[in-house]
Amino acid sequence: MANGIDYRLKDGVATVTIDRPERMNAVDSAAERELDGIWGRLENDRDVRCVVLTGAGERAFSAGADMKEESKGGLHYWSNATEGGFGGISMRQGFNVPVIARVNGLAMGGGFEMVLGCDIVVAADHASFALPEAKVGRLPLDGMHTLPRRLPWSRAMELMLTGNRLPAARALEWGLVNEVVPGADLDAAVDKWTQALAACAPLSLRAIKQAANEAATAEAWEGRNSMTGWLAAALQSEDSDEGVTAFLEKRPPVWKGR
């Protein structure tokens, strides 16, 4: 563990844990640099099939920016934000590995923004989400751009303009969360999702995520006809042939990642 961030890799699943429970897993500048570096390394690691992002303990996924450190004000934070957004992940472009948010408690401010940067969200039933910046005279700098892409306009504005907390059960109803389980069952639920991803061709997953990210910011026709390197590699890969062969032979595919 370095700078309050724990990183582990096992069987193709990378687990990134914000381990600052005494600060509700708030992210200071050192932790953010560490996170940004981890995402950068993972971008090109073909051994990684998926990533789980979580916080230590049961109280908080992350309370966002460490306000005790942020003494220079919100404008300074905005002007010095990392290219990937809060925690290096909230607005990261080009990161094609699927990321699962294991939300073990409160996801507030930048913590919620990091969740919005993930692809699959699994939450404990006691978890909640909030963008409370307006209550303290700040702005949800990344959330203003990402949340309206994930929710109907009125719902996104409700959260940003009031700063109210969104319980996990309602987040599931709104489509922000994929699954809500009792806290004791959170690890088992996340394992189920990692196994589901591991059963798919890794190059296909990367290509799907890249295409989806591009489609979110481009016209549908432009995105549909964009033949990127990742798409070409996936469609011409050994795994592409193996998937069809395994289906015809009625057996599980054996993925090679090439």
Catalytically active residues, by annotation: 113, 133
103 three-state secondary structure: strand
| H or E, element range at 2 | none
Nearest to 193 by CA among 94, 123, 90: 123
- Report, in angstroms and rounded to the nearest whole number, the Rg of the chain calculated over CA atoms: 19
Instruction: Spell out the residues 6+ positions from residue 230 whose beta carbon is closer than 8 angstroms to its own.
Output: 96, 203, 206, 207, 210, 211
Largest CA-CA distance found in the chain, in angstroms, rounded: 62
| CB-neighbour burial class of residue 75 (10 A; exposed 0-12, middle 13-18, buried 19+) | exposed
Nearest to 43 by CA among 31, 51, 32: 51
Counting DSSP H helices and E strands in the chain, the numbers are: 11, 10
* Residue 79: C-alpha distances to residues 72, 75, 127 (Å): 11, 6, 31
| H or E, element range at 15 | strand 13-18
